[in-house]
Copies of this chain bind each other. A is one copy, B any other.
Amino acid sequence: MTKSSTGNYFEDLTTGLEIAHATPRTVTEGDQAVYLALTASRYPLFCDAEFARSLGFQRELVNDLLVFHIVFGNSVPDVSLNAIANLGYADLRYGAPVYPGDTITSHTTVLGRRESSRGDTGVTWVRTTGVNQHGDEVMSFIRWVLMNKRDPDTKLGVDDAPGTPASVEASRLHVPPELTLDRFDPVVTGGRWFWEDYDPGERIHHIEGVAVEEAEHQMAARLYQNTARAHFNAHALKDSRFGKRVVYGGHVISIARELSYNGLENVLRILAFNGGAHANPTFAGDTLFAWTDVLERIDLGRPDAGALRLRLVATKNSDPNTEDQPFQVTDENGRERYHPNVVLDLDYTVLIPKRPV
């Protein structure tokens, strides 16, 4: 019997299963620097210790998405090594801030599953949670994954797919209690707009475009210890559907989110993902662009800050600010689908200061 693991299949991830993931991770200044070199993040909360302290934090925070990628990556060997696709996210919430030096341990619960009608694949819903060395939850999210079966010829007939919330309710959004905005300085963020200034229905084009290279997305996924073969095994992928490596979808989220600084400079922190889809694959050589649609202004019942629900869309090889770029197209069966240039559709909620009085 071989001692190495080929990962879990649909049959292995039974509803209710609890998995404690191996290799907890001490997140460091080094991880922040590599993340920055891969994304050009400019939100100051994650790279300016003085700004972070002025808001009541101990020092600069670990980038929200770096935390997500590490928790996600930690779950890959147990959950999605045999995934065909990551279909969606729901109910992602951030908890305690993560500081450089903190150690994050992750675990996953299988929420339910639904075999395909043909019985050769299935969708598995899981909740993955990251906890710091003090036992505080730093983030938790649901994702569902299209999985290969170990035995595609034997139908199990399982279907206990869980419901997932369409969005994270305002009452469940976590604002760190240490946050104070008395000394918030928009010169530091470069932001001219506050919570009140963003109107539902408004679209913000984020202007810049950024090309993705093989070395970059591989370094990103490896930094997160995400070993999914679709990102690395060029030899095997020659014979795959796309014939090449696919960029880790989370890297696309990061590129889009960091592009979104231009127009959302005052955003402090991600509070939640309501839902999200990797609409189409991204490959090395693609240039990514992003826009944001403002969906909702959420009052958190405090005078200094509110939340914005945003839809972040990324496209490839088409600049939606200067080119006509449809979001959806109607396919030959009359179904609405994402335009092939659309690579990300993320519905998420952020924390942003209210305009000082």
Residues of A within 8 A of B (CB): 2-6, 20-26, 28-34, 36-44, 47-51, 59-60, 77, 101, 103, 133, 187-193, 197-198, 202, 204-211, 213-216, 218-223, 225-227, 229, 232-236, 245, 262-265, 285, 287, 289, 317-319
Contact = CB atoms under 8 A, between A and B. Distances in A.
Contacts of A101: 49
Contacts of A187: 20, 22
23 contacts: A4-B204, A4-B206, A4-B263, A20-B187, A22-B190, A23-B47, A24-B50, A25-B47, A37-B219, A37-B220, A37-B222, A40-B221, A40-B222, A49-B101, A50-B103, A208-B229, A211-B218, A211-B232, A211-B235, A213-B215, A213-B218, A215-B216, A236-B287
B23 A188 contact: yes
Q: Can you tell how many copies of this chain the complex includes?
A: 3
Contacts of A221: 40
A24 B24 CA distance: 31
Contacts of A202: 3
Given A22-B189, A50-B26, A38 B219 contact: yes
A39 B209 contact: no
B2 A204 contact: yes
Contact of A233 (B20, B50, B209): B209
A251 to B, nearest CB: 12
B318 A4 contact: no
Nearest to A213: B215
B34 A37 contact: yes
Contacts of A49: 26, 101, 103
A273 B257 CA distance: 36
A20 B187 CA distance: 7
Contacts of A264: 3
